[in-house]
Structure 1
Amino acid sequence: MLGISLYTQVQKGIRSSELRHRTKIRDAVDNAKKSKIRNVEPRVAEARTIHWTTLARDRDEWRRYWRPLEEVDDQRDGR
């Protein structure tokens, strides 16, 4: 609060209640909630699924790992 670090507060013996009195903040929790509401910024939406093109590109890789080992060995012999 007021740009005073905790270290400075301890050095000068300033209590949090004194700082709240100086800034006329009565309820610190209420003030924090209000400041969060005021500082809300637009956020970029997250991708919740993998795009189908990625799945199509990696389809052969996925197949290789999801097959039984006998089939993978047979495929390697055929190359």
Structure 2
Amino acid sequence: MSASYTVGRSPQADIHVDDEYASPLHARLYQDDAGQVWVEDLASTNGTFVNDVRAPLGTPVRVGPGDTVRVGRTALPWRP
């Protein structure tokens, strides 16, 4: 794995979002060895969405250029 970042409301998250609807450690974004970017929900309360489609718990979802990842009410557009 090339890089991995947690996203959430906790100050310990690599990507901190000030959003009461985000869980403390809401999701994980990572890049695999082939350079593909993925998001994985970390058992968040309100779910993780890619382009308004909820990511299944425990199943990484590929994120491509122009996609938007949403945690809580915070939208994170992916621009490589």
- The bucket for the TM-score relative to the shorter chain is under 0.3
Relative to the length of structure 1, the TM-score reads 0.16
* Structure showing greater relative contact order (alpha-carbon pairs closer than 8 Å, 6 or more residues apart): 2
Relative to the length of structure 2, the TM-score reads 0.16
Structure having the higher helix fraction is 1
